[in-house]
Structures are given as C-alpha cells and as structure tokens.
Amino acid sequence: MAAETLKIQQVAEKTGLSIYTLRYYELEGLVAPVPREKNGHRAYSEDDIYSIIFVTKLRAAGMPIADIRRYVELARQGESTAGERLQILEEHKCAVEQQLAELTQHLEVITFKIDYYRNLNGKGHDGC
Amino acid sequence: MAAETLKIQQVAEKTGLSIYTLRYYELEGLVAPVPREKNGHRAYSEDDIYSIIFVTKLRAAGMPIADIRRYVELARQGESTAGERLQILEEHKCAVEQQLAELTQHLEVITFKIDYYRNLNGKGHDGC
DNA sequence: GCTTGACCTAGAGTACACTCTAGGTTGTAT
DNA sequence: ATACAACCTAGAGTGTACTCTAGGTCAAGC
C-alpha cells in the first residue's frame, strides 16, 4: 500500500472546489506545490487534501487569501514558526467569534422583521 | 419639533458607511431615493437611517446587493408585497443560520489546531 | 468679491477571488 | 494512426462591491 495519489479532478470532487480554483490556490501559495507525475500532472496526496480542506474552512470563515498564504508559508518553514501560526489562528478565531456574534444579532433583527410580517398576514412556515 | 433631517456626512458617521457607499446604495436602489434640499443636498430622515442600518445588517449577514434591492422594491410597492418580503427574509434567515452552523464548525477545526500548537510550545492566551 | 468646505453627478478605477480561454502535451481506446 | 479526454501553463476576463476622480454648484466666513 504505497502512497496513493489523486488526480485534480478527484480532488475537485472531494473538496468541492473547481479545478480552476485548485490550480489557483497552488499558484497563490495557499497550498504547497503539488508534486507532479512524469507527464506533469498533479499528484495529490491525502495530506494535500487534508490541508486543502483546512484552507476551505479558513476561506469559509472569511480569512483573506493573503493571510492564508502567510500561514502556509510559515507552516513550510517548520516547527520554529508554530508560535506565529498559533497567533494567526487565535486572531482569526477571535474574528470568527465576533462575526458569529454579529450574525446572531442580525438574525434577531431579521427574525423581528419576520414576526412583524407574519402578524400582518398570518402566514409563515418557521424553520428551514 | 418638525422633521429634522441629516446631512450625508452625519449619516455616514451614524451608520459606519462611507459617503461614497451611501450614494452608491441609493443609486443601486438599496435605499429609497432620499429627498433633496433646494440646493440638491440629500436630507435624510430618521426613518431613512433606520432602513440604511437594516440594509447594513443584511449585507453583514451576506445578502447580495441584488437581493436587497428586490426587497426594497417590494417594500416600496406597499402592504400587498408583505408575503413576498416575508419569504425573502425567511430564506435569508435560513442561509444565515446555515452559515452560523458552518462557522461554528470551522471554529472547532481552528480551535483544534490551536490546541495542537499550544501543546507544542506551551503558550497561548485563550479568549479574545 | 473671493476663498473654503460640504455637497452634487457621472463615470472611471480598484481589490478580491475566482473563472475561463488558448494553445499544447500525454495516455488510452478504436 | 487517430480520435478523445484529461491534464498542463500563461494570461485574459468576469462579477461583486465598493472607492475615487473630475468638474461643478452653493452658502458662509473673511
């Protein structure tokens, strides 16, 4: 059971990213350079996929590409940068938590409006 | 105490939007056309500010400009559109709740990574 | 009367994150 | 041998949401 590798198409399916985006993320340094087969095709490892999925989490949480690149660069420099990486993640965690709090608050405003409309015409379904 | 109006500068301060963005939102129909003074300057009412703030909530919750415009157009058409507006808000509420759930999940992944780094070098501050 | 500052419109420019096209190579199936 | 499908690179194009510039009006202060 040697290291199995995946084609870009399969990685696209696994991660939900487009092939374009996968190449773009590599170009932008959000993903470490992916090893190539002899024919030049990308050969992704399971580890690569794991880190791509982590990148999608950071993106979904609103982290800009530049910040993720910084994080990935540090990761490639080895253990000595763990402290700085910790700091980036902690800062981002704060940002996400704040965003969460704001979203919750906005949700309340929206819910309030919904209740208003519902009282107007008596209908509505409640829940998603 | 007749209807007091506000200049665009004051509205910018109250809402946290730039003057450019306020004009842009009006141009794009996210805000009903603001009445002008004789000299052509915008004269915002308190109601205008209330609805601008509501728009900022929708934007912060990720609603695209096109959807907000649709909502505002309906609102201007009167009570008969309340049902459709309710539907827009409910759909968006679902989207926000889903986003909230995803963010919470991503936060867990990030927290997990943070714990990993913290165990590596023993430091970290915990909390924002 | 002239400068200054806040406002106006129309339209150009920017930032970000993709997304696609063009032109080319490689590996498998007929 | 040839068609085709999936891959490659480099670079152009797109969509969204602002953000700024240019050129002009208007009221208040010196």
- Who contacts A84 (Cβ-Cβ below 8 Å, separation ≥6)? A74
pLDDT interval class at A123 (50, 70, 90) = low
Predicted confidence at residue A44, as pLDDT, reads 97
DSSP string computed for B114-128: HHHHHHHHS------
Structure tokens of A48? 């690569």
Q: What pLDDT, on a 0 to 100 scale, did the predictor assign at position B28?
A: 97
Q: What percentage of chain A has pLDDT greater than the value 90?
A: 52
Paired tokens of B66: 């096109």
Q: CA-based Rg of chain B, rounded to a whole angstrom?
A: 21
A24: the nucleotide nearest its CA (via C1') is: C18
Give the percent of chain A with pLDDT over 70.
93
User: Nearest to residue B117, comparing CAs of A127, A91, A56?
Assistant: A91
B46 and chain A: CB distance < 8 Å anywhere? no
Using a CB–CB cutoff of 8 Å, tell me whether A104 touches chain B. Answer: yes
pLDDT for the residue numbered A114: 82
Q: How confident is the model at residue A7 (pLDDT cuts 50, 70, 90)?
A: very high
Task: Name the architecture of domain B8-121.
Answer: Orthogonal Bundle (1.10)
pLDDT digit string, tens, across residues A94-112: 887 887 788 788 878 888 8
Could you write out the DSSP letters of every residue in B69-103? HHHHHHHHT-GGGHHHHHHHHHHHHHHHHHHHHHH
Q: Does B117 reach chain A within 8 Å, measured CB to CB?
A: yes
- Please give the pLDDT value at position B85: 87
Contact A47, A34 (CB under 8 A): no
Contacts of A125 (CB under 8 A, 6+ apart): B90
In chain B, which residues have pLDDT < 70? Answer: 1-3, 121-125
pLDDT in tens, B15-25: 999 999 999 99
Q: Which two tokens stand for residue B72?
A: 């505002």
In this prediction, residue A2 has a pLDDT band, given cuts at 50, 70 and 90, of low
Angle subtended by helix axes B46-60 and B8-15, to nearest 10? 40
Q: Would the Cβ of A43 be found within 7 angstroms of any atom in strand D?
A: no
Q: Tokens for B19?
A: 């003057």
Query: Which of B125, B9, B79 lies closest to A119, judged by CA?
Result: B79
Is the shortest CB-to-strand distance from A19 to strand D under 7 Å? yes
Note the pLDDT tens digit of each residue in A31-59.
999 999 999 999 999 999 999 999 999 99
